[in-house]
Amino acid sequence: MYLWLKAFHVIFMVTWFAGLFYLPRLFIYNAMEENKASFELFKTLERRLFGIMTIGAAATVIFALALLMMNASYLVQAGWFQVKILFVLGLFGYHYWCYRIMLTFRKGENTRSHTWYRWFNEAPAIALIGIVVLVIVKPF
């Protein structure tokens, strides 16, 4: 059962990350004046993608909690796991920040440039690298 839970945890984590990678890309396009004719389309795409990535995030947590119920020792004995949790909490903050940005675009109140969003778009990649290294290498 543990391996099935782990498989679904990874599947939904990938779904969540797909949204975390692509939603900020939509923000980049939405922030570019030359794409003004497509702003309404971007708002629709952003809303739908946010819904899918939120489902992915929720399912990731549900399967993570099920895994933890089967192996609670990770919470206190594995330093790498505790750091992974910090990365995940950061991703939830990033997820919420994406939500706030999406609302800003919906209201037509964006003040940031597409260049800012290009940098913003890099954060989930850094978190993913950190999480994968921690889970695979278990350095401490």
Indicate the annotated binding residues. Answer: 9, 84
Integer Cα distance of 119 and 95 in angstroms: 15
Quick check: helix, strand or coil at residue 11?
helix
Indicate the annotated binding residues for heme. Answer: 9, 84
Mean pLDDT over residues 46-51, rounded?
Answer: 98
List the chain domain ranges.
2-137
If you write DSSP's letter for every residue of 72-137 in order, what string do you get? Answer: TTHHHH-HHHHHHHHHHHHHHHHHHHHHHHHHHHHHT---S-HHHHHHHTTHHHHHHHHHHHHHHH
pLDDT at 36: 87
To the question of pTM greater than 0.85 for the whole model, the response is yes
Mean pLDDT over residues 101-127, rounded?
Answer: 97
Mean pLDDT over residues 102-111, rounded?
Answer: 96
Q: Which two tokens stand for residue 79?
A: 């330093």
pLDDT digits (tens, 9 = 90+) for 60-83: 999 999 999 999 988 888 999 999
First to last CA, the chain: 27
pLDDT at 74: 87
| Residue type present at position 3 | L
pLDDT digits (tens, 9 = 90+) for 25-43: 999 999 999 988 999 999 9
